[in-house]
Each structure stands twice: as C-alpha cells, then as structure tokens.
Structure 1
Amino acid sequence: MNPLVSIQRGKSSKPPRVLCYGVEGIGKSTFGSQAPQAIFVPIEDGLGEISSDKFPLASTYDEVTAALASLRQEQHDYETVVIDSLDWLERLIWDKLCEQHGVYSIEKVDGGYSRGYTHALIYWREILHHLDSLRNQRGMVVVLIAHSKIESFKDPESSAYDRYSPRLHKHAAALLTEWCDVVGFATRRLRTQSEDAGFNRKRTIAHGLGAGGGERILRCVGSPACIAKNRYGINEELPLSWAAFVEALSRNPE
C-alpha cells in the first residue's frame, strides 16, 4: 500500500489531556470535579468534601487499571476521567515493581543503579494506553492531578535556579508532561513588598491578592518559576476553575 494514500490534512479535535499540579489544598481536585460528568479514580483519600462520582479508593496498581478498563468496556455516561493523584499512583507502581522483583525498595529493582525508575515507565505507558483509549474511543476528557515539589534546575544558558514541578520521578514527569496537552501549575497570585527589618536590613513579605490569601490561578505557560505548557495558544494566567479553562479554549481554538 502506498503510504501517501493515507496522508491526512487539517486539525483533529479531541478532548484535552490536562495535568493540574500544585500545593496541597489549592483546589486541584475541585478543578477536576468541575469538568463535565467527571468520575474519579482516587488513589489518595482526599475527596471527602467534594461532591463527585468516584471508584473505591485504589490501594494497588491493578485496582487502578481495572477501574480504567471498566470505563472503556462498560456502558456509562461519564465524560471525564480524573486520576487523583499521580504521585500516589507512582507509589503503587513502585510497589508492584518491588513485588515483581522480590525486593523492598525501588532502588533495588534489577540490581539497582536506578534501573527501577526506568522499569516503572512500562507501567506508566500502560496507564497512558488506557487513557488514550478512553479519549479516542469514548471521547473522554482526561484530568491528572498531582502535588508539586521544588526542584533545582540547571539551565545551560544561565545560572541554576529553583522551580516548581510535579512531584514525580524525573523519568515519569518527562513522559507525562510530554503526553499531556496542558500542564497547569495551580498557585496563588501574590505580590511581594520589601520593608525595613532594622539594623540596615530588608525583609521581603508576600501578600495575597484577593480574599483567602490570594486569588487561585492556573499557569499554563512555563517560566523559570514552574513547569507548564499548553497546545492551545493560551498565554494568560487563568482563574483556577474549569469554566475559565473552557472559556480560554474557546478563545484559543486548537
């Protein structure tokens, strides 16, 4: 068969794959629950105050994949699948690897030398295969929730600096951030102010803008402060809500 015959042209509109990460209590799970007809695959026990449908709390990797498989195989009306959270899922993946290799630590898998983290990518790709099937075959939006960490980044064009990133091993983080259409950092909008601390010293104080210690926002463009990206041309900071995200998508069609 001539491969030229199968060439396609134009845009292919599919539901977005969104990774939302940030500090504890910022509203990441609430953001996921606002997506249309959301169903959670909970791996950490933090949805008690959120009104949304959810599977039983998963305590093994196989329970997570079973939940995703059921969404693909069974009839339902759900339009969004939310995994909450990726960093807890990573622990289940490591547990499965340790059991498989008969060791007590991911550092000991396959003789050590960090090989365990590379082997873990096999299970991460299996998760992404399930999610791709839900997106492509069932038309479901994918929302992935993760906590944040502060890491040191060695920039080859400047001095090293600290930035926020998803709380995952670097191999898993690279795979997931590349796969997602949107990687959003959930944080608060703050302003800083220097004031006299006495004895010819200055101190910097951060003030929240708005009620509740600062407006909750979603950064969808990367900067030295955080890992973020999007494939929809969103250039501005958004309020941390699904409605604001959808509005930005309509202003910036793929």
Structure 2
Amino acid sequence: MAFNITSGPTATAQKVVLYGVEGIGKSTFASQFPNAVFIDIEGSTSNMDVMRMPSPRSWQMIMDEVEDVKQRQICQTLIIDSGDWAERKCKEHLAVLGKWTDSTNDYGAKYVSLEKEFGQLVNKLSDVVEVGINVVVTAHAKLKKKEEPDQMGAYDRYQLKMEDKTGAMLKEWADMVLFANYETTIVTDSKTNSKKATGGQRVMFAAHHPGWDAKNRHNLPDKLPLDFGAIAHIFQKQVTPPVQTQPPVEQPQQEQVTAATTVETPQENNFGREPNIIDPAIPKELAQLMSVNEVTEEEIRRLVAEKGFRPYEMPVKDYPDDLIQGGLVAQWDKIFTEIKAKRAY
C-alpha cells in the first residue's frame, strides 16, 4: 500500500499546560484564551465572569464533561482547572475501587493504576484537540530537591504539584508547558551588606531551566510577561491544508448530460419562536446551558411539571437547589434530549 506524504504544519489546536505558584493568576490568564469554557474542579473561577461547566463532583463527571465538549463542540478552548485537582478526583475514584490506599507495601501498584486511569483523561483531551478545540490544563507548582549525578549537592526545582508519573505524562502530552512566577531581583546594600528582594513582576517561562520545567514548539522567548497577548499570535494562525508531494492521478472522465434538478432542502421553521430571554435570577450554571442550547424557561417548566417535580406555574428561579443542580444541570444531556423530542416546529 502506498501512502501519501504531506508537508507543512498540521496542528489546528494547541495543548497547553500552565503551572505556577499560588495566587499568580493562572485561571485569569487561562480565561483569556479564545472562547474558553472551564471545567472548574477546584472552584477558582467563582468570582470570575467566565463560561463554565457544572463543577464536577467525581472523576466520572470530569470524563463525561470532557466528552460532552468534544461531542457538542461548544467552545474554542477547554480549560481544565486544575490538573492536580483532577488527579485528586482520580485518586478518590481509585480509592473506592481499592486501587489507591495509604499502604506502602503494594510495590508501587497504586501508582501504576493512577497512571493508567489518568491516562484515559489525557486521551480524551487529545480527542478534544482532534476536533479543533484548544485544551489548557492549569496546575499548581511545588518545590522539590533535585540532585544531578554529575553535580555536587542538590538544588530546589519547581515542578507540577502532581505525582511523578502523571506529571511527566501531562508534560509530554503538551505542545507548550509554561511556568508562571514572580520575577524578583536581589539587591545588596554596599554599606551594610544586607540583601532585599525587589520587583515582583509576573512573568512566565517557556524554555527549560535547571530551576523549572517548561517548553514550547513555537520559538517563543525564554521569558515573557504573564499576558495572553504574548502568545495570542499562536492561536490566530490559519493552517493551510497539507501539500501532497505527488499530484493525484487524473482519471479519464466521460462526458455526461444530466438534466438539472432542483432539490428543496427542508429548513427548520423558526416562525413564531421569540428570542430566548433568560431570567437573570436563574442560577448561572443552568442559565448557561439554556443559552447555549436555546432552551426556553417554558420548556423547562413544562418538562418539570410533566415529571411531577414542581407545578408548571412555578418559575425556574424558585426551584430548589437540589432540583436545579442534581435534576437539571447534572442530567442536562438527558433533559435536553427530551426537550428536543417535544419541540414541534
């Protein structure tokens, strides 16, 4: 079998890992990516005006939400906030299965299970990238002693606040690993010989250094300001189709005379559907799902009343939290499917 050879860039979406010290603004930076939607596992976006999926309460819910983004393609960038909190949910899931314990006598079996299970999430994120959606995974940083075999002594080094195997997997998967930190300068007083730190500008590093992990595939400078504008050009590139090294073989064509026919394509009848105005008092998570899917409050009330949960006359904003979060938001795919089945255009 002969295979075509292509040349030129082929990536249409980027895989980014952004980690840094606590409070430096990782979530704020991530929110500046194009048309971003968060899967906020740690609750860091509570005071931010961003689009987010329902806060996942389990490892399976994280997997389901990633799959939902891939299937519905509702954004240009998916943010996992954060990778180390996702790993924590993964450990909780394995603990229920008896595959993650505090015991140190399992010969490392729990770390093998963690690597395998977390790898399923990484594979799902790759599937999201395949459909043209950027993926950004944030993470916290930790300091760890590093000792090189050919060097005298050890030194501190920043790395992902994750287990070694899962952290390494995430770094290998990414196109860019960016490390965010405060840049400080030590100034020595010549008279008193005392030292003090000055500066504190927020920066990000895009290249490997003995003191941290970082990389990129876009020839970025080693150090940049912690500002999305410094990397925005990467996400504005229009990738041209790959060029074939061999022209396709021309097939002989027979002249055919066909009668022109006009096929009328049925179109969705939107007559009579008014603009979808959502009550601002409806909880934001449900309101976002209604807005994205163009679901009206009347459709929600009708379905809830048919199921006997609440009377039709009750406004959605007055529904109890357990009905909104557990009955509507958490089961949105099922709810939306039933609503679509009842629509009569």
TM range (shorter): 0.7 to 0.9
- Give % identity: 30
Whether contact under 8 Å (1:232, 1:249) holds in the other structure is no
Query: Within 5 A, what are the aligned runs for 1:124-135?
Result: 124-135=118-129
Change (3 A) 1:197 1:167: farther
Q: Is residue 26 of structure 2 the alignment partner of residue 28 of structure 1?
A: yes
Q: Is residue 161 of structure 2 the alignment partner of residue 167 of structure 1?
A: yes
Alignment deviations for residues 75-98 of structure 1 (CA, whole Å, 9 cap, x no partner)? 52x100000011111111111111
Partner SS for 1:70: helix
Change (3 A) 1:232 1:154: same
> After the TM superposition, which of the residue ranges 51-60 and 37-46 deviates more from structure 2?
51-60
Q: Is residue 114 of structure 2 the alignment partner of residue 116 of structure 1?
A: no
Change (3 A) 1:128 1:157: same
Q: Residue 202 of structure 2 corresponds to which residue in structure 1?
A: 216
Stretches of 4+ moved more than 4 A in 1?
248-251
Whether contact under 8 Å (2:204, 2:225) holds in the other structure is yes
**Root-mean-square deviation (Å):** 2.3
Q: Residue 224 of structure 2 corresponds to which residue in structure 1?
A: 238
Whether contact under 8 Å (2:206, 2:222) holds in the other structure is yes
Give the partner amino acid of 1:240. L
Q: Residue 253 of structure 2 corresponds to which residue in structure 1?
A: none
- Counterpart of 2:150 (choices 146, 157, 160) is 157
Q: Residue 285 of structure 2 corresponds to which residue in structure 1?
A: none
Q: Is residue 92 of structure 2 the alignment partner of residue 95 of structure 1?
A: yes
- Structure with bigger strand share is 1
Q: Residue 317 of structure 2 corresponds to which residue in structure 1?
A: none
Distance 2:123 2:188 in 1: 50
Change (3 A) 1:57 1:133: same
Partner SS for 1:228: coil
TM-score, structure 1 normalization: 0.85
Whether contact under 8 Å (1:234, 1:248) holds in the other structure is no
Change (3 A) 1:57 1:50: same
> How far is 1:156 from its partner?
2.7
Distance 1:135 1:129 in 2: 10
> How far is 1:24 from its partner?
1.3
Whether contact under 8 Å (1:153, 1:162) holds in the other structure is yes
Higher relative contact order (CA 8 A, sep 6+): 1
Distance 1:87 1:194 in 2: 38
> How far is 1:220 from its partner?
0.5
Whether contact under 8 Å (1:108, 1:116) holds in the other structure is no
Query: Within 5 A, what are the aligned runs for 1:45-194?
Result: 45-76=43-74, 78-101=75-98, 105=101, 107-108=102-103, 112-137=106-131, 139-159=132-152, 160-194=154-188
Runs of at least 5 residues in structure 2 that lack an aligned partner in the other structure? 240-345
Q: Of the two, which has the highest radius of gyration?
A: 2
> How far is 1:67 from its partner?
0.5
Give the partner amino acid of 2:126. D
